[in-house]
Amino acid sequence: MISVVILGSGNVASHLINAFENSKEVDLIQVFARNINSKINIKLNTIVSKYEDIVEADVYIVAVSDAAIAEVVSKIPFKNKLVVHTSGSIELLLENVKNRNGVFYPLQTFTKNKEVNFSKIPICIEAENEIDEEVLHKLASSLSGFVYKIDSNQRKALHVSAVFVCNFVNHLYKIGNDICEENNISFDILKPLILETAEKINVLNPEIAQTGPAVRNDIETIKKQELFLKNNKNLEIYKILTQSIQKNE
Amino acid sequence: MISVVILGSGNVASHLINAFENSKEVDLIQVFARNINSKINIKLNTIVSKYEDIVEADVYIVAVSDAAIAEVVSKIPFKNKLVVHTSGSIELLLENVKNRNGVFYPLQTFTKNKEVNFSKIPICIEAENEIDEEVLHKLASSLSGFVYKIDSNQRKALHVSAVFVCNFVNHLYKIGNDICEENNISFDILKPLILETAEKINVLNPEIAQTGPAVRNDIETIKKQELFLKNNKNLEIYKILTQSIQKNE
């Protein structure tokens, strides 16, 4: 049984807490939250808010904002423990000399009020040595069937890719939603299309899956749609993405 | 029983042919394909390639490229028949005076070698009069549980929205795929994220669902990621979409 303390109370922390509470191979012994009033769903007697109250554990998972990681890590009152962060964009080697560093990066978009199935979430791990790597592998495997060894450079690439395929994609959904609202159309009409576009990626490479006026080089439709778009920002996005599809670099 | 002739042999036509062949309420009596060698999957004796061989039917569905619609419609050798096209961006009233015009627009991305479940595809219909509208409603309902009356202006808006939430989204998947390939990472790691991002839209408004460095105003991560992107085109897309999320107009 691996004993774990989670530090943090945001979206990633609360989803991890829920997941570990249902795990039989991991003992979540404590949660540290700087703000004890946070709405994380855990028995109150296992939450502490002072660093000196943190108990000994096999692994400390620091699931706080990137900017806060270094400070929280430095204040863990133990030495030579395995301390991991959950960030896509922070490197393995923090200036944390008193403990061993690692990364436990669940690659998913976590939103309050939206449950996720952790067993299908890829977890990217990285450690300073093989023994720690094995511990992280066990920890990750207790939650998910998809555990990957990913070094810091690869994780950076993954995180940028995730911004494109998740954050930017969601923003395009928002633009679609806005256009529908302005024209008294239910956004529901677009939902099957959104889902099919995402599911298609499981069977087709995105380059092959590309459809639409840009890839067909249907200049007439492109011109009509550019005229249709009254919002300058959306027009600019339309033009740059259309050109990018046409260039296919 | 509504009798139907489909004109066309591209992606939309072949998916419609498959769907109508399985329908009990519609009699697909003929397919007209200018190129008889096309690979559509139908009994050969029902395919013709000369306009004069087209038989009489209740509805003619012209599922050809936007640029070819007017020509194909004008050559149908009948008068006062209901002739519909399947395009998102062509208006109802073509210069088709001898027949009655309509629109039968299935809002989905159709790709060769990828089956779709027609029963969940929204079909947008439009007609010149209520009787034709009723015929189209029956026709559409025989395939799908989601039939919408959408006028030409709304259809234009829908089509532009579809370009954002499908074509452009798929292009962002491609960019994510490219970044993964350049860094020896399996694109599979991103697939659960892609699916969750799409599914989230069913329970959350995309504005509320937005996550990532831009909406958090995490300037440090944004700067790091801009430095990471070596491809100028991708960098430009990154910047414009990040700004668009931050402005939230």
Residue carrying structure tokens 């394909």: B33
Average pLDDT on A175-190 reads 96
CB distance from A21 to chain B under 8 Å? no
- Indicate yes or no: CB of B180 within 8 angstroms of CB of A158: yes
Q: What does DSSP assign to residue A183?
A: T
Q: Say how far apart CA B182 and CA A145 lie, in whole Å.
A: 25
Distances (CA, A) of B73 to B63, B156, B208: 10, 20, 45
- Is it the case that residue A197 has pLDDT exceeding 70? yes
CB distance from B148 to chain A under 8 Å? yes
Contacts of B182 in chain A (CB under 8 A): 157
Interface confidence, given as ipTM, is 0.89
Average pLDDT on A79-104 reads 88
Q: What per-residue confidence (pLDDT) applies to B98?
A: 85
Q: What is the pTM of this model?
A: 0.89
Distances (CA, A) of A234 to A122, A238, A241, B90, B151: 33, 6, 11, 22, 23
CB distance from B164 to chain A under 8 Å? yes
Closest-CA residue to B242 (of A84, A138, A240): A240
Residue carrying structure tokens 């027949």: B99
- Indicate yes or no: CB of B163 within 8 angstroms of CB of A121: no
pLDDT band at A153 (very low <50, low <70, confident <90, very high): very high
Contacts of A212 in chain B (CB under 8 A): 109, 163, 166-167
Taking only the tens place, the pLDDT of each residue in A37-80 is: 656 666 656 899 999 999 999 999 999 988 899 999 999 999 99
Q: Say how far apart CA B204 and CA B178 lie, in whole Å.
A: 29
**Percent of chain A clearing pLDDT 90 (strictly above):** 75
Cα A64–chain centre separation = 13
Under 8 Å between Cβ of B189 and A148:
yes
Q: What per-residue confidence (pLDDT) applies to A45?
A: 62
Q: What per-residue confidence (pLDDT) applies to A198?
A: 97
Low-confidence stretches of chain B (pLDDT < 50) are none
Residues found in chain B: 249
Nearest-CB residue to A176 (from B65, B164, B171): B164
Average pLDDT on A215-236 reads 94
Q: What per-residue confidence (pLDDT) applies to A87?
A: 93
| Burial class of residue A115, CB neighbours in 10 A (0-12, 13-18, 19+) | exposed
Q: What per-residue confidence (pLDDT) applies to A40?
A: 62
**Selected residue with higher pLDDT from A40 and A89:** A89
Under 8 Å between Cβ of A146 and A123:
yes
- Is it the case that residue A202 has pLDDT exceeding 80? yes
- Indicate yes or no: CB of A195 within 8 angstroms of CB of B199: yes
CB distance from B219 to chain A under 8 Å? no
Distances (CA, A) of B176 to A164, B102, B240: 6, 40, 16
Q: What per-residue confidence (pLDDT) applies to A232?
A: 93
Nearest-CB residue to B195 (from A113, A173, A198): A198
